[in-house]
Amino acid sequence: MEKVWLVGAGYMGTQYVKVLVGLKRQFTVIGRGKETADEFEKVTKIPVTTGGISKYMESNRYPPKFAIVAVDAQYLFETAHSLLNYDIKAILLEKPGSLTIKDITELHRLASEKKA
């Protein structure tokens, strides 16, 4: 079974954990800061790899097939863009997807280009 990257260890991330556990999916939680990660781990009992998605991708040569992006709204575009460029083909991007139409258009263009 393919592993899922859950990017974001805030409130929405805790909600996605419930779904992933219920579906019996293997997943890795990737967050930025230690404080949020500590709270997430306290609530879910699931470990979080901190340092952010860019740092995590540097040390993981093989992208998963699936990723869930549940970061704060101001980081949605940047995170999804990075994952698409890392060749992840199936991304669930939490709404609103970005804060600008320009960014949404760019994500659509890149996803089409990457056949994601």
Please write the tens of the pLDDT for every residue from 74-88.
999 999 999 999 999
Reported pTM: 0.95
Would you state the pLDDT for residue 1? 60
Residue type at 43 in one-letter notation: V
Distance from C-alpha of 71 to C-alpha of 79, rounded to nearest angstrom: 8
Please write the tens of the pLDDT for every residue from 24-78.
999 999 999 999 999 999 999 999 999 999 999 999 888 899 999 999 999 999 9
Q: 4-114 is classed in which CATH architecture?
A: 3-Layer(aba) Sandwich (3.40)
- Give residue limits of the domains in the chain: 4-114
Would you state the pLDDT for residue 61? 83
Give Cβ neighbours of residue 110 (< 8 Å, ≥ 6 apart). Answer: 81, 84, 85, 116
Would you state the pLDDT for residue 60? 87
Q: What is the CA radius of gyration of the chain?
A: 14
Cβ–Cβ under 8 Å, residues 31 and 9: yes
Closest CA to 94 of 3, 4, 2, 8: 8
Would you state the pLDDT for residue 62? 87
